Amino acid sequence: MVEMLRVVGAVIERDGKILACRRRPEKAEGSKWEFPGGKVESEESPEQALKRELAEELELYDVQVLSLVERATTASNGKHIDLACYRVEVADLPVTSTDHDSMQWCTPDQLITLDWALADRPIVDSLVSVTAHPEDKRKRTRRAKC
């Protein structure tokens, strides 16, 4: 039976830009970009896990979990990763990260230029399609169904 990992991620926006974090090289999918977050423990709700992970990774303690952006399941290294990504509001901006060697604020169009971890790619696609022009969105949707 394939292991299912429940994971949460945060879409943090400031001035029309979204925070992207690059995983440290020694981590799984090292040097790939992702949204900050992590595993949901068995006793936690996704919202609780997201607040805990943002406190641990980015030292962000005043966090409001808002709406679900996208939820996607991907297969990676013999596991299924069920990633739920939420729009969050934070009182402070992250300065450092325990799990990442770089943090970058990107416009939605800049997001697609980064080398994303497999589980985060559907989230990026969703964020980009929301900001695309209606004609571009139709083209992207057609390609996705191929």
Name the average pLDDT for the chain: 88
Domain extent listing, the chain: 3-145
Q: Are 51 and 63 in contact (CB under 8 A)?
A: yes
pLDDT at 132: 53
CATH topology of domain 3-145: Nucleoside Triphosphate Pyrophosphohydrolase (3.90.79)
Statement: residue 17 has pLDDT above 60: yes
Determine the average pLDDT of the residues in 47-72. Answer: 97
pLDDT at 72: 95
Statement: residue 62 has pLDDT above 50: yes
Residue 99 has what DSSP assignment? S
Statement: residue 146 has pLDDT above 90: no
Q: How confident is the model at residue 131 (pLDDT cuts 50, 70, 90)?
A: low
Question: Which one has a higher pLDDT value, 131 or 28?
Answer: 28
Window from 65-74, 95-104, 133-142 with minimum mean pLDDT: 133-142
Question: How far apart are alpha carbons 59 and 34 in whole angstroms?
Answer: 17
**How open is the CA angle 8-100-93, to the nearest 5 degrees?**
75
Q: Are 103 and 20 in contact (CB under 8 A)?
A: yes
pTM: 0.85
Residue with tokens 């400031």: 14
CA 137 to chain centre: 21
Number of H helices, E strands in the chain: 4, 7
Quick check: helix, strand or coil at residue 50? helix
The neighbour count for residue 142, using CB atoms within 10 Å, is 9
Q: Are 18 and 103 in contact (CB under 8 A)?
A: no
